Amino acid sequence: MKISLIYGGKSAEHDISILTAFSIIKEVYYKYYEVQPIYITKAGQWIKGPVLTEPVTNHEQLKFKFNDETTNDQQLSGVEIQPTSLKEEDAVIFPVLHGPNGEDGTVQGLFEVINMPYVGTGVLASACGMDKIISKYLFQQAGIPQVPYVAVLKNEWLRDEEQVFMRCEGSLLYPMFVKPANMGSSVGITKAENRFELISAIKTALKYDRRIVVEQGIEAREIEVAVLGNADVHTSVPGEIVKSVDFYDYDSKYLTNDVQLQIPALVPDSVSAQLREYAAAAFEVLDGSGLSRCDFFVTANDEIFINEVNTMPGFTQFSMYPLLWENTGLSYGDLVEELIQLALRRFEERQAYQMKSDE
């Protein structure tokens, strides 16, 4: 079977996606699969590289050159394709695109239209999980505790900044964290200790999205749980991000590796069980499938607040998601294999539903 591995993309998380693709390529079971890498440039061009029957040696090789581009010697050549050409027999799509146009339901809609099996959550779960405002509404319906927050639209900010300040300062205390509603990997997130910093934080977040979230900052540990499955939901042991900085930002995650991961997290068994229960509930209320990583805050009093659900967590060498499963008893290679099988089973289920509707 062929694995069509799609990575890169037009989002701010382009480089993260390439690192994730490289990590997966190193762990695929080539005895059973060949890998068709498909690189989406920052300009949105889809470039098909050579079929791989063994791993590449450097992630830079995955930035395929095409036409008459001047590139470094490590890069491989590719050909530009149309996204619809992904449809082929005996293949499964494995998208590792992060952020907008990758895990927000847009590319998943393409896979649905061309009727191909693909790894990860579907259109609805991807869109809702990516959108921090919509996901908060759903978590509230599911009864999962959250920190206080204020949703802000760009038009509201441009129309009346003072009104936005009144809403934020009227219901939240400093420090506050300001986040784009549809961005991941801590891109565009800023901590604000006062109104001056809040102004700057809002302006920064609005560079990435027209909808943002202002959240109450709390003293808490950041603990994450990995989720795997379709209707049969499985959760990993919790893992903690032990930070040497105020919050786990983009540089800490992918460039400087300034954080340490404690797996399993040192929490009471009752807290661990509750975290896993909330993670499964969040996955289900989003209509998740395949995989997700649920991020939580846990206070000194063992209060639990859900932060967000990432429907396409990173698979880099520093990433929490595969490490959580490794510490739960599932190796990286077996995790990749399980995700492929989950994608195929979900596709077969959808096909069966379609046949019933056609009768």
Q: What is the pLDDT of residues 281-323, one digit of tens each?
A: 999 999 999 999 999 999 999 999 999 999 999 888 779 999 9
Predicted pLDDT at 246? 59
pLDDT at 10 exceeding the cut of 90: no
pLDDT at 73 exceeding the cut of 60: no
pLDDT at 255 exceeding the cut of 70: no
Q: Which of 203-207, 312-316, 353-357 has the highest mean pLDDT?
A: 203-207
Predicted pLDDT at 68? 52
pLDDT at 75 exceeding the cut of 70: no
Predicted pLDDT at 121? 95
Q: Do the annotations mark residue 219 as ligand-binding?
A: yes
Q: Do the annotations mark residue 133 as ligand-binding?
A: no
Predicted pLDDT at 346? 95
Question: In the 8-state DSSP scheme, what is residue 84?
Answer: G
Give me 17's structure tokens.
């996606």
Predicted pLDDT at 299? 96
Q: Do the annotations mark residue 192 as ligand-binding?
A: no
**What's the pTM value of the predicted model, to 2 decimals?**
0.88
Q: Show which residues are catalytic.
A: 13, 185, 319
Average pLDDT score, the chain: 90
More confident residue, 182 or 304: 304
Predicted pLDDT at 358? 65
C-alpha 41/C-alpha 240 separation (Å) is: 34
Predicted pLDDT at 127? 94
Q: Strands 190-192, 234-235: parallel, antiparallel or unpaired by DSSP? A: unpaired
pLDDT digits (tens, 9 = 90+) for 119-177: 999 999 999 999 999 999 999 999 999 999 999 999 999 999 999 999 999 999 999 99
Mutual orientation of helices 269-285 and 132-141 as an angle, nearest 10°?
110
pLDDT digits (tens, 9 = 90+) for 95-113: 999 877 888 999 999 999 9
**Torsions phi, psi for 45 (to 5 deg):** -80, 140
Element (H, E) at 6: strand 2-8
Mean pLDDT, to the nearest integer, of 194-215?
94
Q: Strands 46-48, 79-81: parallel, antiparallel or unpaired by DSSP? A: antiparallel
C-alpha 330/C-alpha 351 separation (Å) is: 29
Element (H, E) at 320: helix 320-328
Q: Do the annotations mark residue 295 as ligand-binding?
A: yes
What confidence category does residue 48 fall into, taking pLDDT thresholds of 50, 70 and 90?
very high
Is residue 151 within 8 A of residue 133, CB to CB? The reply is yes
Predicted pLDDT at 21? 94
List, as one string, the DSSP characters of 20-63.
HHHHHHHHS-TTT-EEEEEEEPTT--EEE---BSS--S-GGGGS
Question: In the 8-state DSSP scheme, what is residue 86?
Answer: G
Q: Do the annotations mark residue 154 as ligand-binding?
A: no
Predicted pLDDT at 45? 93
Q: Do the annotations mark residue 186 as ligand-binding?
A: yes
C-alpha 75/C-alpha 287 separation (Å) is: 39
Q: Do the annotations mark residue 216 as ligand-binding?
A: yes
List of domains in the chain: 2-118 (3.40.50.20), 148-216 (3.30.1490.20), 219-341 (3.30.470.20)
Closest CA to 286 of 138, 182, 143: 138
Q: Strands 91-95, 290-298: parallel, antiparallel or unpaired by DSSP? A: unpaired
Mutual orientation of helices 14-27 and 332-358 as an angle, nearest 10°?
100
Is residue 332 within 8 A of residue 314, CB to CB? The reply is no
